[in-house]
Amino acid sequence: MRLWLTALLAIVRREALRFVHQRSRFLAALVRPLVWLVVFAAGFRAALGLSIIPPYQTYITYEVYILPGLCGMIQLFNGMQSSLSLVYDQEMGSMRLLLTSPLPRWWLLLSKLLAGVAVSILQVYVFLAVAAGFGITVAPLGYVALLPALVISGLMLGSLGLLISSTIRQLENFAGVMNFVIFPMFFLSTALYPLWKMAESSTVLRDICAFNPFTHAVELLRFALYQSLNGWSLLWVCLSFALFFGLALLGYDPAHGMTRRRKGG
């Protein structure tokens, strides 16, 4: 157990050091959601005409409504960035050394996930602090209740990135795959508008949004900010995490997954 903990701390420390030395990554993680929050929110609010947001049936500003979606955006981009580092590590050979350690492969990959989640949570709370400076706040206990939801959603989104990284052969191909995954997941979700608003436009798009795991990650965060629990979203996120992580383990298994095909190619 001590060896397992040592490996976890070493991987978390490595990810933290990498994050500290990549200041542009931290600034991008803040600027991107802040642009949506401050600049685009006014236009979206006017276009959508949102004043009463279910399921709360209370008057809240549109900026407060999209706050959980922007937190999810930070975690989604961070999960992809962490996976990008995995692709780089594979090309440089350091990933191969990590996976040949005596510890179980699932623990090493889970440690990598936890390290990425820790970084994303730091980014989210810095973003919330900046948003509070603009007067966009929730109840103080909501920030506390948000923490476990961030851990669960971060694991799910990070495992998706982990799965994608197991299928990428070259680093230069990752950017295109990221855009192919990130933007459909973000826009076809409840990050910017509720499901009932999407249903007014298209039932098919509404069903796609309801099936999207990112939608349930956002709803989990949204309910947590209001000190409540969305049990269905929690179940959906946990099942998605189990599926993505399980497939990622297969992808990083030299006997079955993409790692073997990458060597063969």
- List, run by run, the mean pLDDT of 10-residue segments along the chain (265 residues): 74 73 69 77 60 50 84 88 72 62 79 88 91 87 94 93 79 69 87 80 86 94 91 95 92 61 47
Q: Is 206 helix (H, G, I), strand (E, B) or coil?
A: helix
Expressed in angstroms, the distance from the first to the final Cα of the chain is: 37
- Determine which helix (DSSP H) or strand (DSSP E) holds 244, and give its type and residue range: helix 231-251
Q: What are phi and psi of 124, to 5 degrees?
A: -65, -45
Q: Tell me what pLDDT residue 151 has.
A: 95
Burial (CB count within 10 angstroms: exposed 0-12, middle 13-18, buried 19+), residue 111:
buried
Residue 240: count of CB within 10 angstroms of its CB? 21
Question: Which 3 state secondary structure label does DSSP give 138?
Answer: coil
The domains of the chain are located at 2-264
Please tell me the predicted confidence (pLDDT) of residue 57.
45
Cα gap 74→217, rounded to integer Å: 12
HEC-encoded secondary structure of 39-82 = HHHHHHHHHHCCCECCCCCCECCHHHHHHHHHHHHHHHHHHHHH
DSSP state, residue 172: G
pLDDT at 256: 57
Quote the tokens at residue 88. Answer: 């780089």
240: left (phi over 0), alpha (psi -120 to 50) or beta: alpha
Quick one: DSSP state of residue 36?
Answer: I
CB atoms within 10 A of CB 39: 9
Q: Global pTM? A: 0.84
**What was the pLDDT predicted at 156?**
95
Residue appearing with tokens 């005596």: 102
What does the alpha-carbon distance between residue 235 and residue 144 come to, in Å, rounded to a whole number? 21
Which tokens is 58 given? 């209370």
Whether the CB-CB separation of 224 and 131 falls below 8 Å is answered with no
pLDDT computed for residue 94 by the predictor: 60
Report the pLDDT value the prediction gives residue 243, as an integer from 0 to 100.
95
